[in-house]
Amino acid sequence: MPETLAKLLSEAFLPHPPRLLGVAVSGGSDSMALLKLLQAFCKTESISLRAVTVDHGLRPEAADEAAFVSRYCASIGVPHDTLVWGKWAGAGNLQNSARLARYEHMADWAKRHGITTIATGHTVDDQAETVLMRLARRSGVDGLSAIQHRVLRHGVTWVRPLLKARREILRAYLREGAVRWINDPSNENEVFDRIKARKVLELLNPLGIDAEALGEVAENMAEARKSLEWQTFLAAKHVVSVQAGAVVLAEVGFRLQPAEIRRRLMIKAINWITGRVYAPRRGALANVFTALETGQAATVGGCHIRRIGGRIWIFREYNAVRDLEAATNELWDDRWKLSLVLPDEMDDHLKVRALGASGLKQCSDWRITGRPYVVLQSTPAVWRGEILVAAPLAGCAKIWHAELDETPDDFFATLLSH
């Protein structure tokens, strides 16, 4: 059994292991088994290992559980840090809010320590539960591919090396090594969808619908997802250009694509422009395509979508950025960098804001750029009070230059990553 589990780690990290590796440890059996396995693996492969625990501050026992992990890490010589969240406002989905906060906190922690890869203890049991929950939401290929073995999020690579291992196998491994773990009482609380799915899975076992079967479904869907992503990438190379921070689709070529490829291109464009991680809701996306069919404009998730001159422009919605202001040495809208051709001309009284209609009135040559009026309104401009100093994307550059923090090539790269 230890050899089989160790093989999963080798498959996940070799032949090019990270120099530094983080591991998320809650104190539960899955993460404790991962920690113990990684401690031996990293020693063999000369990898520096550092553990982290997130105390969500939602249960009084959480601090003690983090201390338990810290003591165990000290006993095996693994540095450990505890991060405290405790900011849930009491509204919305608790487990989802905690999960998102956990990833953000751990990503920040990793960057502080120069760690680019974090391992988590997800198992095939987690995979099966996720598939069931996604089925209940009527998910498509992406949803049913469920938990991925490796994913980039918040600038950190997250690896799930035990995604093919059963929880009971990991517990047997811990018992064999006399390693304790903590049972979280919330794992029995059927208020949460994941616990309901866990209970339902027990009832489905007689039909052959067990963790391994659903894990295989997820693997099959993951392969289908990769194929769709590749086809989306190939389609984008023929129909997509990036102009003034907008994604522009050649309308005829776009309409010739299958519906699923059109949907993926639209989602990727919206997310790339707005920095969103998750796709817009299905209904909102359907409204976008209905609007395009009838020649109407649409807005979704802070993006404006409009047919102009045989092309479909997907660009930042002006209302989403009209109140944003940044210093000239800061990112504006988390994506635009403005710089001076002559740095000595910097003026601390200048601010970056959206160009807007009032700014365009001060740009007499905006038409020579070939960029639509409505697109230019949400582009960055340099202001001194209400006086426009420069609008680099609207033909009023003067000594200013505007560029995206991410290049157009980065957009195409997102089509092959998730």
| HSE-CB of 372 using CA atoms within 13 angstroms | 21
**Same domain, yes or no, for 326 and 311?**
no
pLDDT value, residue 86: 65
* Nearest in space to 162 (alpha carbons), one of 144, 143, 149, 173: 149
Angle at 286 between CA 285 and CA 292, to 5 degrees: 95
Predicted local confidence at residue 56, as pLDDT: 77
What pLDDT, on the 0 to 100 scale, is given for residue 186? 66
> Is the domain of 295 the same as that of 344?
no
- In a shared domain, residues 76 and 211: yes
Residue type, 199: K
* Residue (of 170, 181, 180) closest to 125 by Cα position: 170
pLDDT along the chain (418 residues), means of 10: 89 96 96 97 97 84 92 98 74 66 93 97 95 92 92 93 96 96 75 84 90 95 95 97 97 96 97 90 94 94 95 98 95 95 72 96 93 97 94 92 91 83
412 in a structural domain: no
Report residue 234 as tokens: 């190939």
pLDDT the model gives residue 79: 98
Single-letter code of the amino acid located at 293 = E
pLDDT of residue 348: 74
Query: Do 202 and 302 reside in the same domain of the chain?
Result: no
Shared domain check, 393 and 281: no
Is 353 part of any domain?
yes
Please tell me whether residues 172 and 288 are part of one structural domain. no
Q: Are residues 28 and 155 in the same domain?
A: yes
Query: Tell me, what's the pLDDT at 341?
Result: 82
Which amino acid would we find at residue 203?
L
**Same domain (yes/no): 302, 194:** no
Residue 311's SS3 state is: strand
Instruction: State both tokens at 8.
Output: 């999963």
Chosen domain end from 297, 316, 335: 316
Question: Of 327, 329, 306, 307, which is closest to residue 318 (Cα–Cα)?
Answer: 306
The pLDDT value given to residue 92: 52
Structural domain of residue 305, as residue ranges?
244-316
Examine the fold and report which residue of 316, 338, 372 is the final residue of a domain before the chain moves on: 316
Q: Structurally, how many domains does the chain consist of?
A: 3
| Contacts of residue 359, Cβ cutoff 8 Å, sequence gap at least 6 | 377, 381, 383, 388, 391, 394
**DSSP calls for 133-164:** HHHHTT--HHHHT-S-SEEEETTEEEE-TTTT
Query: Do 153 and 46 sit in the same domain of this protein?
Result: yes
Shared-domain flag, residues 52 and 181: yes
Q: Give the CATH number of the domain where residue 45 resides.
A: 3.40.50.620
Q: 253 and 144: one domain? A: no
